[in-house]
């Protein structure tokens, strides 16, 4: 009988599987070309050609990638090709790993690209998309490397690529730092290719926390030296939104400045659990932000002091506001999803429009038919990740299932972050959690490699 150490799996993928993934890639690209662009996408496009200043609202590494891709092909289609290509690379390697154990499932996995909750967003030029596809690829590459434990040089090269995708995803979406230690721990477990002791797992997690935070800090310092980045204190937007929520639910003025009764009533009417943007809308409640700015409220730590005072004086109102916003994001108890489908390209001064070709229209109709379904709501993906964690951790089957449990923890943590920090209900904020859930459940459906397996 062979042992695990007798089994060396060559680094290859089956030719029919490669053809299937290539066909899926090409179909998705032709349908979405030249991509979908929202207001945020157009902002980053301006930054990439220098017509708008760099700000920390859009991480510089994302802008640098846009610039590099535009140098190769000056079209949004270059980023769409990157998104679909990175996703397809990960899908190919995961599908090959699964195919060795469960062939029918391996050949089904590439078709995940055409499920509406993935096809819906993969063509949009968003940082959320870059994070999702890069961390998906990192996890899939690491699983494939873990399945080839004896080919050390090749495995280390693959793991270096997985870590590179992980780092880029982290730097492209900074709030992912809350999930990063779990994802990085999963990658390390797959690199080790065997389950460590509980004590070693704890050390791995603690080092992953340090590495994730350190990566953000060091990269930030380097970027500040190389690029001129305008600093925007985005925490102030969250604080102002929280103060508006406390004002709404406490019936008192929790803002940092005084308002007349009529102004306060208008400010309450501008409060929406779906997003905070009406407080930046010139025709709605921009006067709230302007009044705070005129009073010098944004200096000397006043926002944080106002927040602490409001929360300590009205903890129930704050809790009601946070839970209401989080429920809106999860789309619990609502008839429809929120921004679960993007239809094209927003108006812009580049003259870029979407041609709305027949294949794209067919996919749009397909997504539109299910855009309010349960799987187009973040609560469903949060639940899938939560359920996957005990299922995977109870198996004690090996590094692959333990790592998948860590990935599911990363998906759970990422969504739960919005309980405290969420200021909008866009479906795109759940994209990484979707990838984490799909990955984790693919691992659940994949049996552990048997010792008597041969190399084929």
Question: In the predicted model, what is the mean pLDDT of residues 1-17?
Answer: 65
Q: What are phi and psi of 332, to 5 degrees?
A: -90, 130
Helix axes 127-146, 399-421, angle to 10 degrees: 160
**Burial letters for 176-201: b for 16+ Cβ neighbours within 10 Å, e otherwise?**
bbbbbbbbbbbbbbbbbbebeeeeeb
**133 cis-preceded (ω within 30 degrees of 0):** no
Q: Distances in Å between the alpha carbon of 259 and those of 115, 244, 288?
A: 49, 12, 9
- Do 408 and 387 contact (CB within 8 A), yes or no? no
**What are the residues facing 424 on neighbouring strands?**
275
Burial (CB < 10 A; 0-12, 13-18, 19+), residue 173, is buried
Mean pLDDT is lowest, of 12-16, 128-132, 135-139, for 12-16
Is residue 374 within 8 A of residue 116, CB to CB? The reply is: no
Measure the CA–CA gap between 456 and 452, rounded to whole angstroms: 11
Yes or no: say if 183 and 390 are a contact pair by the CB < 8 Å rule: no
Tell me the pLDDT tens digit for each residue of 375-430. 999 999 999 999 999 999 887 668 899 999 999 999 999 999 999 999 999 999 99
Tokens of 103: 């062939």
pLDDT for position 398: 84
Q: How far apart are CA 185 and CA 208, in angstroms?
A: 6
Cα–Cα distance for residue pair 188/202, rounded to 1 Å: 12
Q: Say if CB 21 and CB 110 are below 8 A apart.
A: yes
d(C-alpha 139, C-alpha 411), whole Å: 12
pLDDT in tens, 433-448: 999 999 999 999 988 7
- Torsion-angle region of residue 398: left (phi > 0), alpha (psi -120 to 50) or beta? left
Q: Do 94 and 87 meet the contact criterion of CB atoms below 8 Å apart? A: no
Per the prediction, the chain carries an average pLDDT of 92
pLDDT per position as a tens digit, 284-295: 899 999 999 999
State the pLDDT at residue 1: 36
- Given a contact cutoff of 8 angstroms between Cβ atoms, the answer to whether 414 and 433 are in contact is yes
| pLDDT for res 394 | 83
User: Which sign, positive or negative, has the C-alpha torsion 334, 335, 340, 344?
Assistant: negative
- CA gap 21, 383 in Å, rounded: 29
Evaluate whether 53 touches 230 at the Cβ level (below 8 Å).
yes
As a whole number of Å, the end-to-end CA separation of the chain is 16
The per-residue pLDDT for range 141-188, each reduced to its tens digit, is 999 999 886 677 888 999 999 999 999 999 999 999 999 999 999 999
Question: Cα Rg for the chain, rounded, in angstroms?
Answer: 23
């Amino acid at each position: 009988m062979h042992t695990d150490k007798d089994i060396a799996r060559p680094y290859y993928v089956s030719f029919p599987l490669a053809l299937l993934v290539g066909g899926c890639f090409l179909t998705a690209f032709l349908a979405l070309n030249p991509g979908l662009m929202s207001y945020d996408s157009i902002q980053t496009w301006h930054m990439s050609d220098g017509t708008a200043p760099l700000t920390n609202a859009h991480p510089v590494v994302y802008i640098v990638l846009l610039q590099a891709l535009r140098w190769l092909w000056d079209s949004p289609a270059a980023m769409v090709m990157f998104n679909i290509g990175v996703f397809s690379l990960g899908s190919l390697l995961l599908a090959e790993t699964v195919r060795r154990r469960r062939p029918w499932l391996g050949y089904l996995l590439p078709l995940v690209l055409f499920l509406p909750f993935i096809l819906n967003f993969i063509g949009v030029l968003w940082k959320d998309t870059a994070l999702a596809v890069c961390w998906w690829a990192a996890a899939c590459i690491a699983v494939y490397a873990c399945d080839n434990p004896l080919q050390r040089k090749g495995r280390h090269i693959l793991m270096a690529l997985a870590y590179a995708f992980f780092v880029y995803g982290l730097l492209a979406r900074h709030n992912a730092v809350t999930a990063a230690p779990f994802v990085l721990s999963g990658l390390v477990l797959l690199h080790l290719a065997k389950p460590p002791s509980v004590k070693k797992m704890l050390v791995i997690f603690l080092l992953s926390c340090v590495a994730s935070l350190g990566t953000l800090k060091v990269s930030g310092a380097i970027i500040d030296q190389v690029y001129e980045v305008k600093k925007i204190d985005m925490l102030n937007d969250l604080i102002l939104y929280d103060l508006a929520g406390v004002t709404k639910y406490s019936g008192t003025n929790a803002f940092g400045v005084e308002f007349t009764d009529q102004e306060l009533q208008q400010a309450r009417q501008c409060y929406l659990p779906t997003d905070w943007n009406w407080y930046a809308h010139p025709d709605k409640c921009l006067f709230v932000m302007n009044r705070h700015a005129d009073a010098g409220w944004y200096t000397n730590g006043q926002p944080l002091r106002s927040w602490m005072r409001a929360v300590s004086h009205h903890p129930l109102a704050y809790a009601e506001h946070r839970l209401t916003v989080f429920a809106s994001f999860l789309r619990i108890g609502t008839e429809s999803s929120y921004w679960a489908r993007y239809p094209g390209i927003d108006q812009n001064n580049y003259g870029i429009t979407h041609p709305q070709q027949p294949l794209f229209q067919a996919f749009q109709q397909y997504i539109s038919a299910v855009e309010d379904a349960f799987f187009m709501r973040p609560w469903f993906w949060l639940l899938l990740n939560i359920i996957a964690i005990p299922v995977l951790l109870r198996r004690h089957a090996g590094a692959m299932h333990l790592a998948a449990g860590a990935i599911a923890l990363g998906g759970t943590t990422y969504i739960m972050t919005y309980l405290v920090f969420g200021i909008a209900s866009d479906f795109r904020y759940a994209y990484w959690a979707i990838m984490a859930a799909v990955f984790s459940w693919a691992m659940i459906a994949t049996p552990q490699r048997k010792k008597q397996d041969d190399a084929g």
